[in-house]
Structure 1
Amino acid sequence: MRTKWKRHVCILLPNKQHLDCAVRVRARGREVLNSVLKQLSVSDLQVFGLAVLRDNEYLFVDLDQKLSKYFGKRWNTGSIKVPFILFLRVQFYLEAGQLIMSSKEQQLYYCELRQKVLRSQSRHQEALLFQLAASALQADIGDLEQKDVEGEERKRRHYFLPEDYFPSWLIKRRGRDFLLQNSPVLHGELRGVSRSQAILQFIREASSLQDGAVTFYRMRQEKKELRSSILLGVAVKGLHIYQEVEGKQCMLHDFSWIDIDRLTFQGSRFEIAAVGSLCLPKLLYYTHSAFHSKHILRHLTDSHRLHISTRDAVSYIQQLEDMKASQLYNEAYICDAASLKQRLHCSNLASSMSDCSVAMEAATCSSFSVAVEADTDWTEEEEEDSLSEAELRLDEPEEVFVDDPAEVSWLGELLHGISVDEPPVLNSSDWAAVTMEMKQVLWRRADEGASVD
């Protein structure tokens, strides 16, 4: 194919590196993503998406749409020498880093969270920001030598830059000397924690930061308002709405997914309807354009689907961490140790992340419905009165055990990095047997009067 019929696309990564690829003029977003996967040597990027910068705001590309819809006339008249910029960004934040199977994807996820923490405006969570800095130092540097933690040498040795680990307002508030003298103490407390464990700890802690694991979109309260003072945040468990007042973010509403009855847009008009039990009027805001509204709505509905499909896995991971914290984790796994070791040695888990994706997709079908009245071949010139509507109907399925092998057989993989011994690798039948033995141990301890909290 002749060079003039190709376009040069540069993809900026969260780790400040970039990838380049040449695609056809008629290429769709998926063609660029496939090139990214090949260059990163990964099979999939579950939580990342390609984003384009429009009106100083990141919008995630619909992979089935042509790239010309995102770059306009410039795409058709461009050349191979002038690159078009796309961004590989986290599209779906998670509560547990163990859900990210690929180590490369987990590293990219960590890098983006690092940048989010540096831009954080959560001034009331200063203690958490210090802990995040300690986890990041342990992940980046490893164990701090004991001589660097104690005595005068600690004060003289500056082994990190505060600007790389703390927001600028915190540096200004506390001062560089304070951070350089006190951060090593928290860092030293993590001695012995491996790099992978430190990254998982950082991801877990960052999910508690108010503006950490959140994607923000700017909106206006009035259609003709010049300044976009409303921030709509797509979070793991729902939707946050802030208003900027004198440079500070004031939370107006904090909706969990189950609190939202309906999301609709008509052109730039974006409407949020809460469930009737909250007794709230419909919230009406305005985006930059109908193009923005469509992509924000799509991001919201996809985020809700992912939350529904991963909540059992998150619950299971939390159970394991609670058991480990209460010193029951070892005892739960050493019951009938001989037979368990035999199972772990002989068993082989056939499921992969692709199987996980299929299970996730199937799990959402009964609990989420979306009705879209819009042309899928969207253009910005589409009439402003085109209406797209999504109804978030959370008809919860019957309660099931999170370790039900029929529902979450792939969860065996999530034990990697949590188990105190080698990570068990189980098929469905063995998984059911092991979890039943775990329960029997806990029940027996409860009957004997031992606490399992």
Structure 2
Amino acid sequence: FSGPEFIILSSEPPVTVQLPGSIVTKKGKSYLSQRDLNVILLNGQCLEVQCDVQSKARDVFNTVVAYANLVEHFYFGLAYLKGKEFFFLDEETKLYKVAPDGWNDQPKKKTSIINFTLFLRIKFFVNHFNVIQHGLTRHQFYLQLRKDILEERLYCNDETALKLGALALQAELGNYASEMHGKSYFRVEDYIPASRIEKMTLAYVQRELAKLHRMNRSLFEDEAELAFLKVTQQLPEYGVLFYRVSQEKKGAGGEIILGICAKGIIVYEVKNHTRIASLRFQWRETERISAHRKKFMIESSFSGKKHTFITDTAKTCKYLLDLCSAQHKFNAQMNSRQLQQTSSEESKFMETDKSNYAYAAQSEHLALVQRLSRSENVLYGTNLENLSAGMMSKSCDNLSVETN
């Protein structure tokens, strides 16, 4: 069987990389500062990164994206897994602050090896794949969305699961050829989520996937991959980052999940292991977002009502606030960038309108920052002039708002 690369490469031994200028010798005190951590790439490959105890997330991220040859690195981030949730690291975070207990003290105590694993993940999702300049970047989106659907981080129904599974077969195996593939040429569990297989039965799924794969024979591999992305983009949960919270009033309802994405915040209620959207806050309808200790508050400019949610720690609450600001900024940048692409194809008379729209996108984000800055946990845009100037940058290099 030939399967997806993120399964094949996950069984390969780690590749060792070193941070530039990091201490990797075993002489004297320098050895005491050396640490190892693993970074899992989206293709399933594991990198064993040799770093320093004082290394920052930025140092590891730069080394990883250089190794992976990702030019459009601004869509990505390094994240650690807490429970089933991915938390992205700020680039200035020192690794020992988020490492497992004991990782910082390993060489001194000569204890068993403490595994520290980070994941390269997509943090910012595009609204249109034509804004992506490089095929390798688009392939990373394919890999993450493909695996997220398979592992049921991203929900889809039976019909869509079969359609996506067949497109994945075309993208990864090419046209079906009986002399090469035979009858049983793929593992169903590599292409369809387990709960969908259980519901539809293994025999039915195998038969339908093979039939749908043959129907995609007109598509080249890269066309099938793009078709997969376009179908996935239509899913209601595309581009949403999920985090568990609880209601302010104890005993009020069941499990609550906040979904944060480029367009706003979605509140989900979990019923029968399924996320059901109950509230939506688009940025333009959000008057204020604030964080006070463990309380995360969203005030609607549409209804005037304040919705309060409780996080597990004050640190998580602050993280959600920063993530909202970063996603809003990214959305404003993408809107500006998209307009620039459209305008370049039109007449020069459109230049004034383009500038006005870009300015409006900047103003919208700065207005949100100002509303955030009035919150109990103050989020300062200390470099607002630089932030404003950077909104028109095509490189999108700095996607974080400086916070206090």
Letter in 2 for 1:111: L
**Aligned to 1:95, which of 121, 127, 133?**
127
Pair 1:388 & 2:340 matched: no
Pair 1:172 & 2:198 matched: yes
Tell me, in whole angstroms, the C-alpha distance in 2 between the residues paired with 1:14 and 1:224. Answer: 39
Tell me, in whole angstroms, the C-alpha distance in 1 between the residues paired with 2:287 and 2:88. Answer: 24
Letter in 2 for 1:366: S
SS in 2 for 1:218: strand
Tell me if structure 1 keeps the 8 A contact 2:244–2:256: yes
Map residues 55-70 of structure 1 onto 2, 5 A cutoff: 55-70=83-98
Match of 2:166 in 1: 134
For residues 66-116 of structure 1, the C-alpha deviation after alignment (integer angstroms, 9 at most, x for no partner) is 223222763431349644211111111222333333333322221110121
**Aligned to 2:316, which of 292, 300, 303?**
292
Tell me if structure 2 keeps the 8 A contact 1:266–1:388: no
Letter in 2 for 1:135: L
The answer to which of 9-18 and 365-374 deviates more is 365-374
C-alpha spacing 1:223/1:167, structure 2 compared with 1 (3 Å): same
SS in 1 for 2:149: helix
Pair 1:144 & 2:176 matched: yes
The Cα of 1:270 is off from its aligned counterpart by 0.5
How many residues were matched structurally?
338
Letter in 2 for 1:9: L
Tell me, in whole angstroms, the C-alpha distance in 2 between the residues paired with 1:79 and 1:223. Answer: 46
Tell me, in whole angstroms, the C-alpha distance in 2 between the residues paired with 1:126 and 1:249. Answer: 16
**Aligned to 2:257, which of 231, 240, 245?**
231
Letter in 1 for 2:296: F
SS in 1 for 2:218: coil
State the TM-score, normalizing by the size of structure 2: 0.73
The Cα of 1:133 is off from its aligned counterpart by 1.5
Letter in 2 for 1:250: I
Q: Which runs of 5+ in 1 are unaligned?
A: 320-331, 333-359, 375-384, 392-406, 411-453
**Aligned to 2:138, which of 76, 101, 106?**
106
For residues 259-313 of structure 1, the C-alpha deviation after alignment (integer angstroms, 9 at most, x for no partner) is 222211111100111223xx26211111111111111221221112111221355
Tell me, in whole angstroms, the C-alpha distance in 2 between the residues paired with 1:130 and 1:119. Answer: 15
Tell me, in whole angstroms, the C-alpha distance in 1 between the residues paired with 2:314 and 2:87. Answer: 12
Match of 1:46 in 2: 74
Q: Percent identity?
A: 25
C-alpha spacing 1:203/1:122, structure 2 compared with 1 (3 Å): closer
Q: Which runs of 5+ in 2 are unaligned?
A: 1-22, 24-29, 346-356, 382-391, 396-404
Tell me, in whole angstroms, the C-alpha distance in 2 between the residues paired with 1:286 and 1:390. Answer: 23
Tell me, in whole angstroms, the C-alpha distance in 2 between the residues paired with 1:245 and 1:34. Answer: 41
The Cα of 1:46 is off from its aligned counterpart by 2.0
Tell me if structure 2 keeps the 8 A contact 1:120–1:211: no
C-alpha spacing 1:123/1:103, structure 2 compared with 1 (3 Å): closer
Map residues 275-314 of structure 1 onto 2, 5 A cutoff: 275-276=301-302, 279=303, 281-311=305-335
Match of 2:386 in 1: none
State the TM-score, normalizing by the size of structure 1: 0.65
Tell me, in whole angstroms, the C-alpha distance in 1 between the residues paired with 2:221 and 2:342. Answer: 20
- Which one has the largest radius of gyration? 1
RMSD: 3.6
Tell me, in whole angstroms, the C-alpha distance in 1 between the residues paired with 2:72 and 2:184. Answer: 39
Letter in 2 for 1:217: Y
Match of 2:350 in 1: none
Tell me, in whole angstroms, the C-alpha distance in 2 between the residues paired with 1:74 and 1:306. Answer: 36
Tell me if structure 2 keeps the 8 A contact 1:301–1:390: no
Tell me, in whole angstroms, the C-alpha distance in 1 between the residues paired with 2:291 and 2:283. Answer: 18
For residues 169-208 of structure 1, the C-alpha deviation after alignment (integer angstroms, 9 at most, x for no partner) is 2111211121222223322332232222222221221121
